[in-house]
């Protein structure tokens, strides 16, 4: 059976090493690869797959267009308006494992109560982070972002989750006390914010894992505070995908070891 991660560009993806290591450890003969697929070619690619395909992982820019090929969509994916997983079968089931990836990555690093979050960014990953934050117990969110329309979308999600969400400036964000900060912006975008934070508090999850530590992570670590690297989110969302695609318990340790070895090989640790 086959599986793959689709996106453009996608050659840098760490997903193949994680999933394939899981297959080997579990004694499965499946294969998982990275395939460059654009928005324009996505639907045709999915329609060309035969019964030997068990699932697809999706990265940018396919997380929203995937709604057009799905027959069934989970509530989590509908709420986040973002799909990163397609389970192939008689019907195509769409899900979002970024949410559980964030939840499990944070909970692996801390068990403290989390109530007030600073969310940096407002795209697909930010929407997933909002859903995850609700599951982690967060009830109040400050969002630091520029896209007005995207912020409105995040506000709608927060309302459905009974969370309060307020747009803040960089100055306001850095003067508040947050028990959780999640950066969902691409590498380098939030670096300037790090220099503004005089007294960081709580836990930081930065979805960026290269370069690591990010400027934000360095600021947190300088205060001996807990940081959650983005590769832990990647690991835990892949674990859930593995189990959905194979209907087999994921060998977490083997998948983690493969990920860490590949990051080290790439000089990203």
Residue position matching structure tokens 């209907």: 247
d(CA 260, CA 266): 10
Q: Is 140 a catalytic residue?
A: no
Residue 192 CA, chain-centre distance (Å), reads 22
Q: Which of 63, 140, 224, 265 is catalytic?
A: 63
Residue position matching structure tokens 């397609």: 86
Closest-CA residue to 256 (of 4, 24, 98, 21)? 21
Question: Are the beta carbons of 49 and 88 closer than 8 angstroms?
Answer: yes
* Active site amino acids: 63
């Amino acid at each position: 059976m086959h599986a793959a991660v689709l996106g453009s560009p996608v050659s840098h993806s760490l997903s193949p090493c994680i999933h394939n290591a899981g297959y080997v450890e579990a004694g499965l003969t499946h294969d998982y690869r990275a395939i460059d697929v654009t928005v324009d070619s996505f639907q045709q690619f999915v329609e060309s797959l035969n019964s030997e395909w068990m699932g697809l992982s999706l990265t940018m820019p396919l997380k929203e267009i995937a709604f057009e090929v799905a027959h069934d969509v989970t509530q989590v994916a509908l709420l986040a308006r973002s799909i990163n997983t397609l389970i192939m079968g008689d019907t195509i089931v769409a899900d979002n494992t970024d949410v559980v990836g964030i939840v499990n990555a944070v909970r692996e690093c801390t068990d403290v109560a989390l109530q007030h979050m600073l969310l940096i960014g407002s795209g697909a990953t930010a929407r997933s982070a909002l859903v995850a934050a609700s599951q982690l117990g967060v009830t109040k969110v400050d969002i630091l972002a520029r896209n007005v329309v995207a912020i409105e979308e995040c506000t709608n999600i927060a309302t459905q989750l009974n969370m309060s969400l307020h747009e803040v400036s960089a100055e306001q964000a850095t003067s508040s006390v947050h028990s959780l900060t999640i950066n969902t912006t691409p590498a380098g975008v939030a670096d300037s914010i790090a220099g503004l934070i005089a007294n960081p508090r709580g836990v930081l999850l930065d979805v960026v894992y290269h370069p690591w530590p990010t400027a934000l992570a360095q600021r947190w670590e300088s205060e001996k505070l807990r940081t959650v690297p983005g590769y832990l989110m990647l690991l835990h969302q892949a674990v859930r995908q593995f189990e959905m695609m194979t209907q087999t318990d994921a060998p977490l340790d083997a998948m983690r070891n493969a990920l860490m070895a590949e990051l080290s090989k790439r000089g990203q640790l």
